[in-house]
């Protein structure tokens, strides 16, 4: 009896060992419903492009510059606004990926995206997009009627962009810039703060700077196949984009510099020392130009912000300096 049990135990251990070895060679559950479900969920989450959510941090600009960062209730409202715009922006990414599926397959990197590669069904992607859109809009109206209007405007604008406006030269970049402005506006209206025209101007110019840099990167990387992936690229040239980048770079720096030295700004914020933040903006701009022209980057601003240590440190120091100046002046 004992010998039989010992023999069974040995066979059981060997079976478990073989199963363990097989599991090392083949993904666990790859041929099961659970394994397939995991793969779909993983691809769906990847299609939400969570790394792009850094753009939605712009909703906090109004909170910081209105000097309300010390008020937990308002911080909570803006944090919820951030979540709402993450849902809205992810829904727009899903819609755009479905509409651009054939063109993405011509792109050396984008062809590996879940929808372009065929791993994620377009119907499921659109269903998820609809759910996120409804969740975002309802959540926005629940927080504030004005925020709901901004959320609808954002969703409508980006849907129109994906449906065809992205094929109109220059207007494509302006619509992307408008999306950034709506993010900033959302952070202002949800706390009933005053909307600064300087915030509007700097946001538009910064967004154009990043957008033209991305267009330039796509032109150089895709070369002859650029128009196959994004038809609007046939309307641009590296030389034209270089001139546009030079214009928006200069005007962005000038606009921010004028904002920091404006007597109106000093009076409203209670500090004349905001020009101390300008060197960080100058370095960050030049660092990004360096990455664009010497490292052949610029195609994914959100990715560069998270992966380039010098840029990340610079942004962190700028934010810390702004907060220190604004909140020690109170």
* 7, pLDDT greater than 70: no
Q: Residue 48: helix, strand or coil by DSSP? A: coil
Task: Please compute the mean of the pLDDT values over residues 85-94 and round it to a whole number.
Answer: 96
Q: Residue 105: helix, strand or coil by DSSP? A: coil
Q: What does R_g of the chain's alpha carbons equal in angstroms?
A: 24
Task: Please compute the mean of the pLDDT values over residues 185-212 and round it to a whole number.
Answer: 92
Are 206 and 180 spatial neighbours (Cβ–Cβ below 8 Å)? yes
282: tokens are: 């100058």
pLDDT of residue 329: 67
* 130, pLDDT greater than 90: yes
pLDDT of residue 226: 63
Give 113 or 127, the one with higher predicted confidence: 127
* 52, pLDDT greater than 70: yes
* 28, pLDDT greater than 80: no
Residue with tokens 């959540």: 139
Are 229 and 215 spatial neighbours (Cβ–Cβ below 8 Å)? no
* 9, pLDDT greater than 50: no
* Spatial separation of the C-alpha atoms in residues 181 and 203, rounded to whole Å: 6
Task: Please compute the mean of the pLDDT values over residues 40-52 and round it to a whole number.
Answer: 87
CB atoms within 10 A of CB 18: 10
Q: How confident is the model at residue 290 (pLDDT cuts 50, 70, 90)?
A: very high
Q: Model confidence over 234-288: pLDDT tens digits?
A: 888 889 999 999 999 999 999 999 999 999 999 999 999 999 999 999 999 999 9
Give 323 or 229, the one with higher predicted confidence: 323
Question: What value does the mean pLDDT of the chain take?
Answer: 86
Percent of the chain with pLDDT over 70: 86
* Spatial separation of the C-alpha atoms in residues 187 and 317, rounded to whole Å: 22
Burial 64-85 (b: 16+ CB within 10 A, else e): bbbbbbeeeebeebbebbbebb
* Spatial separation of the C-alpha atoms in residues 297 and 291, rounded to whole Å: 5
For the entire predicted model, the pTM comes to: 0.83
Are 60 and 82 spatial neighbours (Cβ–Cβ below 8 Å)? yes
């Amino acid at each position: 009896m004992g010998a039989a049990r010992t023999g069974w135990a040995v066979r059981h251990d060997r079976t478990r060992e073989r199963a363990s070895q097989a599991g090392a060679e083949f993904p666990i559950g790859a041929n099961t419903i659970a394994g397939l479900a995991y793969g779909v969920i993983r691809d769906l989450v990847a299609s939400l492009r969570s790394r792009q959510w850094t753009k939605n941090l712009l909703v906090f600009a109004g909170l910081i510059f209105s000097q309300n960062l010390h008020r937990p209730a308002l911080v909570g409202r803006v944090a919820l606004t951030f979540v709402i715009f993450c849902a809205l922006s992810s829904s727009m990414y899903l819609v755009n990926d479905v509409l651009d599926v054939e063109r993405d397959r011509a792109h050396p990197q984008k062809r590996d995206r879940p929808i372009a590669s065929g791993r994620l069904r377009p119907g499921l992607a659109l269903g998820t997009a609809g759910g996120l859109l409804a969740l975002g809009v309802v959540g926005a109206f629940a927080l504030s009627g004005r925020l709901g209007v901004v959320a609808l405007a954002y969703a409508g604008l980006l849907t129109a962009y994906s449906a065809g406006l992205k094929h109109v030269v220059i207007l494509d970049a302006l619509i992307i810039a408008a999306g950034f402005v709506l993010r900033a506006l959302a952070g202002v209206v949800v706390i009933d703060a005053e909307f600064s025209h300087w915030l509007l101007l700097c946001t538009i110019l910064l967004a154009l700077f990043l957008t033209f840099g991305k267009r330039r990167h796509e032109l150089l990387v895709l070369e002859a196949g650029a128009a196959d992936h994004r038809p609007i690229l046939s309307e641009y040239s590296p030389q034209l984009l270089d001139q546009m980048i030079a214009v928006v770079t200069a005007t962005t720096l000038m606009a921010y510099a004028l904002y920091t030295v404006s007597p109106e700004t000093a009076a409203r914020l209670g500090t004349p020392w905001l020009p101390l933040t300008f060197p960080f903006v100058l370095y960050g701009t030049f660092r990004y130009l360096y990455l664009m022209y010497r490292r052949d980057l610029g195609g994914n601003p959100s990715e560069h912000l998270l992966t380039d240590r010098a840029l990340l440190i610079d942004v962190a120091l700028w934010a810390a300096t702004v907060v220190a100046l604004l909140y020690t002046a109170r």
